[in-house]
Chain A
Amino acid sequence: MDNNKTNILILDDEPIVSKRLKPSLERKGYEVETFTRSRDALARIREKRFDIVITDLKMEGIDGMEFLTEVKKLYPGTEVIVITGFATMDTAKESFRKGVFDFLAKPFKLGEITEVIKKAEANIKNR
């Protein structure tokens, strides 16, 4: 494990999201772990701290909002980025209230999420 690398966890119940994001982010030098079930992602964050967490909101089982609440509780310093296909003002507001770093509505371009991740990284480094 290269300690200089930023760790990212991705949680989305549709495999297409992780399949596309993981190699793309790894090529940019990030360590990436992906999950399609919130249960497994929850188990994983209890074992390991991630610098950045990217999560969908609407999923079966524990939904994204619960998951990100848990993440922020365990690691207030972890930056959470929400990606959702059901973007509404309300969900966006609630996410920000919970301390989410940014909120992206699907579909978005790879470049857009990369920009957000870079900003989150800068945020972490500047603390």
Chain B
Amino acid sequence: MRKILDWIKQNLLRRHPETARLSATDSFRTLFANFQELIDLNNRILHHVAEANDKLSGDYIFDSNYIETTCSKISAMVKDLIYLINKMTQQQYPGLYDAFERIEGDIQAMLEGKIIAPRPDFILPYPMIDRDLMDAVGGKNAHIAEIGNVLGLKIPLGFAISITAYQYFLDYNKLQPQIAAITDSWHRGEIQVDEASQTIRRLILSAAIPPKLEQRMIFAARHIANLSGESSPRFAVRSSAYGEDSSSSFAGQYLSRLNVALDELVSNYRDVVASAYTIRAMEYRQQKDFRENEVLMSVACQLMIPAKASGIIYSIDPVHPEKETLVINSSWGLGEPVVSGQTATDTFVLDRRSPHVERELNVVRKDLNLVACGEQGTNLEPVPQYYRTRPSLTADQRHRLAEIAMQLEKYFKTPQDIEFAIDHKDEIVILQARPLRLKRKNAPRASELADLPERYPVIFRDRGVAAMEGVAVGPVHFIRTDSDLDNFPDGAIGVARYASPMLARVIPRAVGFITDVGAATGHLATVAREFRIPALFNTDEATSLLHEGEEITLDTEERVVYRGTVRELELFALCEEHIEETYEYRLLRRILKKIEPLNLLDPNAETFKPQYCQTYHDITRFIHEKAVATLIDRNYYHSHDPDTVAGRLKWDFPLDLILIDIGGGISGTEDHFVLPEQIISDPMQALLTGMSFPGAWDMTPAPVDMGSFMSSLTRTFSAELSNPQEVGQNLAVVSAEYVNLSLRLGYHFTIIDAYVTENIKNNHAYFRFSGGVTDTVRRKRRTRLLDRVLTHYDFVTQHQGDMLVARLKRLDKKGMIKRLYLLGLLVGFTRQLDVRMVDDQKIDFYYRKILSIMEENDGQQQDQYTDFRR
């Protein structure tokens, strides 16, 4: 054995003078034991995070104590992980402790009730805003931006002045402690609410706007004015307070200002901020389980739309929801009088269901309308004679508005109160959308729903797990292929065999998900919760019980699927208070934003450093990457432990691979060589089987850069990739149930790490692929191909440029073996695929080819193993 290792040292492992020498006691086995401990801890952290996210499904009763204990558990494990990587690398990453302190500090502050904005910017333009920034810009800003960015509807040019800006304004004037003292004193009954409100508002209105904030506000406003070509732009300044658009809708609590000139922007900003402390707002918050520390006023600044007509839509009649109609009120000019009821308005009542038949038309005489004055502000002026008795919206516009209302309701999963304008091109512009409160007395009561299964046809019940609670009504749409995703109809319920992450693509259009297979802790479950899409996974046979296009009602809480539409259930769901109306739910969701999102994607990026870690997930990702790199580094430059069995693979394919056995992975060696049948490691065996697929290695090399393909069979590498972290001996560390494979094939660098046991919870596979010899366009095509194949087989993927990372967890042994076979196949195939990726059609072509190989081999893999092990 000693001889073999010496031989490996002399022949295969070149020393690298710059690498720190391992201490004599730091054997490879110790290092590897640390590595495995680290991998195990890493997986446990991710598991805990997934479990915590599962609590957002609505299927659990949890309390603040749960949130605190979970946070301290996860924090402790992340700290251990940092300790481990530093132990493995002789303290190379002390910066991770700083990153940890930062994130943990934020989490602690949140547990104490502070709101930490997810981004530090004062100004966030609408095109940059997505759902994740709700805590930075408030609901109103986030919704309107999402309506523009995700749903593609026309919205005004605008930007958010963030919650961070608000906090900065208060801190700059040292207002926080004063406001807190006054509020406390009101809560204790020492002063009346009117006195408290007046004192706080006076403080805010006399405070100075910090110059830095003023500059950025004006700059952003000028920018949107330039975009529109307006020479004397006017702005609408609206409140977008934290929690304002939760279904404890603060409608009308705060101030909006219209037709504001550039030089008045700052003072209007201050007025809107001060409106956070009107008497009504303060009392309302007290009623609604809103804490005073949740008072955070972001502001929306939008370019004014000189509206021909304006109005509001209620996506359901709030007084008579049972009528299943939607209501549009509109008038000429700007919308404020429609909202406040100052002027006569037309009323149109339409069916909620397509084709939105008009039920009522009430066109009134409209003598006055609100228009923007030249300089500043607005004025009520007479309407030109001709228009006074004409409907303020055309039949087409009314129909389109009804479609938009239903689209928004389905997307935001709650009835909508929408403000719109008709601009001078006669186009509909959405100004804001917020949840519509229904009068509870008109809503069906929960107790009236107890006997639904007796009254409606049930397709199946008591099957599956609720990944997200809720009710969905819509036609069934099967998702079997990518084109099923591309052609996903608006408002359908997606039904699939697996809860695959690729289903997330249809989120803006889907109202529900049902799958045969899938866990409530998977990626799709997380996304479904984020977008509040009712999801029932693991039903076993939904795909065979349901039919394409049939209308169904999905109730995930009771785990029932009804044939047809169960009206009272649909209505009940629309009227129900969402669980996110509770403080604890919001708190858990906020904290998870500090834990779960992944920002560190590319190990080669300048920002792949401890100081750029923004979440615990970033830290664990960074550590995992460095741990793998360390192992390869050591394996390449240092000798192995004499106790390990090691040898070079000898088989029919030109793969230069060293195998190191750390326990039950290799049955023996022959003359420094390991034969395929001597590999008894399950995952390694599956990989080799995939790699040895005839087509994979026998593909005629493409006529491009012949040398690089030849080099894939040797160990040369390009100068641009000669970073020692990136260069290594082709190496597999194996045990009976484990493989850690590092391959450098030509210009491609692959890492595979997998555990395959009988215990589903331990099983994981990690695949990382990067590099190539062609232009980036072709390499990206190849990445897209890999991405499609891997997501088809349930991997969660991330990629940036031509690097791709895919992960898979919690699959049974048979499924894992199949997927390792796939990884082997891909390693063989993709060595040269980037060269062949001459156009996008090739992605489809190879995708189908790989899938057909996989499905053909599905029943035969076992036989192939026996070939090796005979």
Chain A residues engaging chain B, CB cutoff 8 angstroms: 12, 14-17, 19-24, 26-31, 83, 85-86, 106-111, 113
Minimum distance in angstroms from A63 CB to a CB of chain B: 15
- CA gap between A24 and B66 in the complex, in Å: 21
Across the interface, name the chain A residue whose C-beta is closest to B57.
A109
Q: Are B584 and A14 in contact (CB under 8 A)?
A: yes
Q: Are B64 and A14 in contact (CB under 8 A)?
A: yes
Give which listed residue, B63, B64, B445, contacts A26 with CB less than 8 A: B445
A interface footprint on B575-608 (CB within 8 Å = 1, 0 otherwise) = 0110101111100000000000000000000000
- CA gap between A53 and B307 in the complex, in Å: 58
Q: Are A16 and B585 in contact (CB under 8 A)?
A: yes
Q: Tell me the B676-700 residues at the A interface (CB within 8 Å).
A: none
- CA gap between A21 and B60 in the complex, in Å: 9
The answer to whether B214 has its CB under 8 Å from any CB of chain A is no
Q: Are A26 and B447 in contact (CB under 8 A)?
A: yes
- CA gap between A62 and B64 in the complex, in Å: 20
Q: Are B66 and A106 in contact (CB under 8 A)?
A: yes
Whether A107 touches B62, Cβ cut-off 8 Å, given contacts A24-B557, A27-B447, is yes
- CA gap between A19 and B55 in the complex, in Å: 15
Q: Which residues of A contact B585 (CB under 8 A)?
A: 16
Q: Are B582 and A108 in contact (CB under 8 A)?
A: no
Q: Tell me the B431-478 residues at the A interface (CB within 8 Å).
A: 445-447, 449-451
Q: Are A110 and B447 in contact (CB under 8 A)?
A: no
Between A and B, 15 residue pairs with Cβ closer than 8 Å are A15-B582, A16-B63, A20-B61, A23-B446, A27-B447, A28-B450, A31-B447, A83-B61, A85-B65, A106-B62, A106-B65, A107-B63, A110-B60, A111-B59, A113-B61
Q: Are B447 and A15 in contact (CB under 8 A)?
A: no
Q: Which residues of B contact A31 (CB under 8 A)?
A: 447
Q: Tell me the B54-81 residues at the A interface (CB within 8 Å).
A: 55, 58-66
Q: Are B63 and A27 in contact (CB under 8 A)?
A: no
- CA gap between A83 and B65 in the complex, in Å: 13
Q: Which residues of A contact B557 (CB under 8 A)?
A: 24, 27, 110
- CA gap between A109 and B61 in the complex, in Å: 6
Greatest chain A CB density within 10 A among B55, B447, B557, B581 is at B447
The answer to whether B558 has its CB under 8 Å from any CB of chain A is yes
Whether A16 touches B579, Cβ cut-off 8 Å, given contacts A27-B558, A110-B557, is yes
A interface footprint on B317-352 (CB within 8 Å = 1, 0 otherwise) = 000000000000000000000000000000000000
Number of interface residues of B (CB under 8 A): 27
Minimum distance in angstroms from A16 CB to a CB of chain B: 4
Across the interface, name the chain A residue whose C-beta is closest to B68.
A85
Q: Which residues of B contact A17 (CB under 8 A)?
A: 61, 63
Minimum distance in angstroms from A77 CB to a CB of chain B: 24
Q: Are B61 and A27 in contact (CB under 8 A)?
A: no
- CA gap between A40 and B802 in the complex, in Å: 63
Across the interface, name the chain A residue whose C-beta is closest to B445.
A26
- CA gap between A17 and B59 in the complex, in Å: 12
Q: Which residues of A contact B445 (CB under 8 A)?
A: 26
Q: Which residues of B contact A107 (CB under 8 A)?
A: 55, 60-63, 66
Q: Are A15 and B583 in contact (CB under 8 A)?
A: yes
- CA gap between A106 and B584 in the complex, in Å: 14
Q: Are B65 and A86 in contact (CB under 8 A)?
A: yes
Minimum distance in angstroms from B245 CB to a CB of chain A: 19
Minimum distance in angstroms from A9 CB to a CB of chain B: 16
Across the interface, name the chain B residue whose C-beta is closest to A113.
B61
- CA gap between A12 and B65 in the complex, in Å: 13
- CA gap between A22 and B446 in the complex, in Å: 9
Q: Are A15 and B289 in contact (CB under 8 A)?
A: yes
Minimum distance in angstroms from B450 CB to a CB of chain A: 3
Q: Are A19 and B579 in contact (CB under 8 A)?
A: yes
- CA gap between A24 and B450 in the complex, in Å: 10
Q: Are B446 and A14 in contact (CB under 8 A)?
A: no
Whether A21 touches B449, Cβ cut-off 8 Å, given contacts A15-B582, A27-B558, is no
